[in-house]
């Protein structure tokens, strides 16, 4: 079973009748734009001087930009389920990506279901990766086969596959003299050729090779593929998802009821294979190497995570530059299309009465600490972009320095759209947008409750400190404390094997107390175990 889910929710899907919905005057609209695996600093508004994202920046500059937003869980399915329901991972019941493939896994409604009950038309386009039962509630409801790629094998959804088959001819690479010894391979996501770079697992191999140099079966997943795609820019997955959103806006603008429209981009999730002209916009040799790439991690619980020891190429200072350049290219493509979507709001006269939210489900390590992907509590994995624009309701140029969580978006949307407050584990972000003084006591929590035996399960973050611990009292996984002001790249764990760990007990206990407050609030089953665990010492 493939643990990644992807869907294209087509406009032609079955519609849910709105006849029973009482529409009491036109209420504000919601446009929610989400990317997959975009880290917080893959945005020029965050201070990135290489990657220019003027259209994404526009959302933050014309509204509120959140400097420190944490994913509730740095893994796709749990993160999306928590975001949409306003519940902790424990309470949403989606602990892993596989849990997101269970139709009725999450019992509580997402905020779009509540908006639908209040007369909103709700439509969703792009990657879903949350329990199917929630997807079926949209006005463009989907079928299980469309929602779950594993029902058809790894790769893209049926809708995008059909689209590509109509517009981009599939090329056979194996035993094709035109592609022999040229560095071409077939991408496992869209099954079209791409030109590999030195970071790619199959770089230098003949197309179609199935075994490695030892004769073992070659495993090639999405994260193993790096290079330049041959899919034309007008037919990439980003382009198709954006065009579906633009078409939906055209239709929704003509209707009487308010709408909630989601555009959920697959990228910059792996495979990291951008198309031209984006692929040539960023030169590998100009990319900065992560400061922490050579971190020995001898006092970190993550020393063996994300295949770090068996994947030394992500610690290669030259090879990693290819990944960064191509990752930036994927973000740049998204930025261009987001510009078109924002322009369409203006053109249709919808901008002044539409709340626009932009975020990503989690980040991407990109060679930081010599790693790829996510699944851990380092900044590159758990810290994501968040911007909210709402003309007349949120002051342009607002900057929130408080650490916040995506779990708060559920309450925030209800608050700004005038819905009745529904129980959740988060609180409206209005408290920080309109009252900067509230930042002094702010903290945010992230969870990852699957990897308990070998890594931390819980993280609590204040503006200047970060603390991770397991969710059991006797776990042998070390506790972690980082002073982010003096150690922004998280290379000096003040606990664990540190001989001076006791000198940091006061701060560790303060951070643990914050975590206990949150566990009490969310009625976590791990509350008593965390209370018992020593704040400094490993189990």
Helices (H), 72-192: 76-85, 89-92, 111-117, 132-135, 144-147, 158-167
Q: Going by DSSP bridges, is the β-strand pair 259-264/121-126 parallel, antiparallel, or unpaired?
A: parallel
Angstrom distance (rounded) from CA 133 to CA 107: 9
What average pLDDT does range 50-79 have in this prediction? 96
- CA distances, 223 to each of 200, 217, 327 (Å): 9, 17, 12
Q: What is the SS3 assignment for 430?
A: helix
Q: What is the SS3 assignment for 123?
A: strand
Residues facing residue 459 across a β-bridge? 446, 468
Angstrom distance (rounded) from CA 266 to CA 151: 19
Global pTM value: 0.91
pLDDT of 9:
36
pLDDT surpassing 50 at residue 419: yes
pLDDT surpassing 80 at residue 292: yes
User: Of the candidates 313, 330, 320, 319, which has an alpha carbon nearest to the alpha carbon of residue 273?
Assistant: 330
Residue 257 lies in a domain: yes
* Total domains in the fold of the chain: 2
CATH number (domain holding residue 83): 3.40.720.10
Residue 528 lies in a domain: yes
Query: Tokens 């969710």 identify what position?
Result: 471
Query: Tokens 């391979």 identify what position?
Result: 185
Model pLDDT for residues 272-283, shown as the tens digit of each residue = 999 999 999 999
Are both 160 and 131 inside the same structural domain? yes
What average pLDDT does range 440-446 have in this prediction? 93
Angstrom distance (rounded) from CA 89 to CA 446: 9
Are both 373 and 515 inside the same structural domain? no
| Cα 283 to the center of its chain, rounded Å | 25
* Residue 57 burial (10 A CB sphere; 0-12, 13-18, 19+): middle
Are both 439 and 473 inside the same structural domain? no
pLDDT surpassing 70 at residue 109: yes
Q: What is the SS3 assignment for 265?
A: coil
pLDDT of 485:
97
Range of lowest pLDDT (49-58, 62-71, 115-124, 153-162): 153-162
3-state helix, strand, coil in the chain (%, to 5): 35, 15, 50
pLDDT of 477:
94
Residues facing residue 196 across a β-bridge? 227
Are both 440 and 462 inside the same structural domain? no
pLDDT of 418:
87
Angstrom distance (rounded) from CA 37 to CA 326: 14
Angstrom distance (rounded) from CA 257 to CA 293: 51
Q: What is the SS3 assignment for 446?
A: strand
Model pLDDT for residues 34-60, shown as the tens digit of each residue = 999 999 999 999 999 999 999 999 999
214 or 49, higher pLDDT = 49
Residue 315 lies in a domain: no
Are both 375 and 396 inside the same structural domain? yes
438 or 199, higher pLDDT = 199
Axis-axis angle for helices 158-167, 237-252 (nearest 10): 100
CATH number (domain holding residue 536): 3.30.1120.10
Would you tell me how many other CB atoms lie within 10 Å of the CB of residue 406? 29
- What share of the chain has pLDDT > 70, as a percent? 89
Are both 265 and 121 inside the same structural domain? yes
Residue 309 lies in a domain: no
Are both 357 and 391 inside the same structural domain? yes
pLDDT surpassing 70 at residue 90: yes
pLDDT of 436:
83
Residue 186 lies in a domain: no
Residue 487 lies in a domain: yes
Q: What is the CA radius of gyration of the chain?
A: 23
Are both 408 and 522 inside the same structural domain? no
pLDDT surpassing 50 at residue 2: no
Angstrom distance (rounded) from CA 445 to CA 467: 10
User: Of the candidates 178, 162, 171, which has an alpha carbon nearest to the alpha carbon of residue 192?
Assistant: 171
Are both 414 and 510 inside the same structural domain? no
398 or 140, higher pLDDT = 398
Angstrom distance (rounded) from CA 492 to CA 297: 9
pLDDT of 501:
96
Query: Tokens 């890594």 identify what position?
Result: 455
Axis-axis angle for helices 237-252, 319-347 (nearest 10): 10
Domain boundary residue, one of 444, 463, 489: 444
Are both 389 and 460 inside the same structural domain? no
Domain boundary residue, one of 419, 444, 469: 444
- CA distances, 59 to each of 180, 286, 357, 359, 384 (Å): 46, 28, 8, 11, 15
Band of pLDDT at residue 264, cut at 50, 70 and 90: very high
* Residue 397 burial (10 A CB sphere; 0-12, 13-18, 19+): exposed
DSSP letter for 307, please.
G
Residue 429 lies in a domain: yes
Are both 346 and 364 inside the same structural domain? yes
Angstrom distance (rounded) from CA 127 to CA 125: 7
pLDDT of 451:
64
Model pLDDT for residues 125-166, shown as the tens digit of each residue = 988 777 766 766 788 766 444 444 433 334 467 778 889 999
pLDDT of 132:
64
CB 389 within 8 Å of CB 352:
no
Are both 523 and 409 inside the same structural domain? no
Angstrom distance (rounded) from CA 26 to CA 119: 9
Band of pLDDT at residue 22, cut at 50, 70 and 90: very low
Domain carrying residue 497:
452-539
Residue 219 lies in a domain: no
Band of pLDDT at residue 452, cut at 50, 70 and 90: low
Domain boundary residue, one of 402, 423, 444: 444
């Amino acid at each position: 079973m493939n643990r990644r889910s992807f869907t294209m929710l087509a406009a032609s899907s079955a519609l849910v009748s709105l006849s029973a919905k009482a529409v009491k005057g036109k209420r504000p609209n919601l446009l929610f734009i989400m990317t997959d695996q975009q880290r917080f600093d893959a945005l020029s508004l965050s201070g990135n001087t290489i990657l220019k994202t003027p259209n994404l920046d526009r959302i933050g500059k014309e509204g509120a930009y959140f400097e420190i937003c944490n994913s509730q869980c740095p893994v796709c399915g749990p993160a999306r389920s928590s975001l949409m329901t306003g519940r902790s991972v424990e309470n949403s019941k989606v602990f892993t990506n596989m849990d997101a493939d269970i139709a009725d896994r999450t019992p509580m409604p997402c905020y779009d279901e509540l908006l639908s009950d209040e007369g909103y038309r709700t439509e969703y386009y792009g990657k879903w990766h949350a329990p199917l039962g929630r997807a079926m509630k949209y006005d463009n409801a989907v079928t299980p086969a469309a929602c779950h790629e594993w029902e058809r094998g790894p790769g893209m959804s049926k809708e995008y596959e059909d689209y590509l088959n109509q517009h981009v001819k599939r090329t056979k690479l194996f035993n094709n003299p035109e592609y022999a010894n040229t560095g071409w391979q077939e991408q496992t996501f869209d099954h079209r050729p791409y030109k590999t770079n030195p970071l790619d697992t199959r770089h230098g191999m003949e197309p179609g090779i199935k075994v490695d140099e030892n004769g073992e079966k070659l495993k090639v997943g999405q994260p193993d593929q790096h290079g330049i795609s041959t899919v034309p820019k007008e037919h990439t997955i980003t382009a198709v998802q954006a065009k579906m959103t633009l078409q939906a806006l055209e239709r929704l603008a003509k209707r009487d009821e308010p709408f909630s429209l989601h555009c959920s981009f697959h990228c910059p999730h792996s495979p990291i294979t951008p198309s031209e002209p984006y692929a040539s916009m960023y030169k590998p040799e100009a990319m900065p190497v992560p400061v922490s790439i050579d971190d020995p991690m001898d006092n970190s619980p993550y020393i063996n995570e994300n295949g770090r020891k068996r994947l030394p190429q992500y610690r290669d200072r030259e090879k990693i530059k290819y990944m960064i350049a191509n990752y930036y290219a994927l973000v740049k493509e998204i930025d261009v299309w987001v510009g078109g979507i924002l322009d369409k709001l203006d053109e249709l006269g919808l901008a002044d009465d539409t709340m626009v939210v932009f975020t990503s489900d989690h980040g991407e390590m990109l060679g930081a600490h010599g790693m790829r992907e996510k699944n851990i509590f380092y900044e590159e994995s758990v810290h994501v972009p968040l911007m909210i624009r709402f003309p007349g309701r949120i002051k342009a140029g607002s900057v929130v320095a408080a650490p916040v969580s995506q779990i708060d978006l559920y309450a925030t949307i209800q608050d700004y759209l005038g819905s009745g407050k529904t129980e959740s584990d988060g609180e409206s972000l209005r408290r920080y947008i309109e009252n900067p003084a509230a930042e002094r006591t702010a903290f945010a929590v992230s969870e990852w409750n699957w990897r308990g035996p070998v890594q931390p399960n819980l993280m609590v973050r204040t503006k200047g400190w970060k603390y991770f611990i397991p969710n059991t009292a006797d776990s042998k996984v070390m506790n972690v404390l980082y002073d982010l002001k003096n150690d922004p790249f998280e290379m000096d764990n003040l606990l664990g094997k540190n001989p001076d760990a006791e000198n940091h007990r006061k701060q560790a206990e303060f951070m643990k107390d914050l975590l206990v407050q949150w566990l009490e609030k969310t009625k976590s089953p791990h509350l008593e175990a965390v209370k018992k665990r020593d704040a400094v010492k490993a189990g």
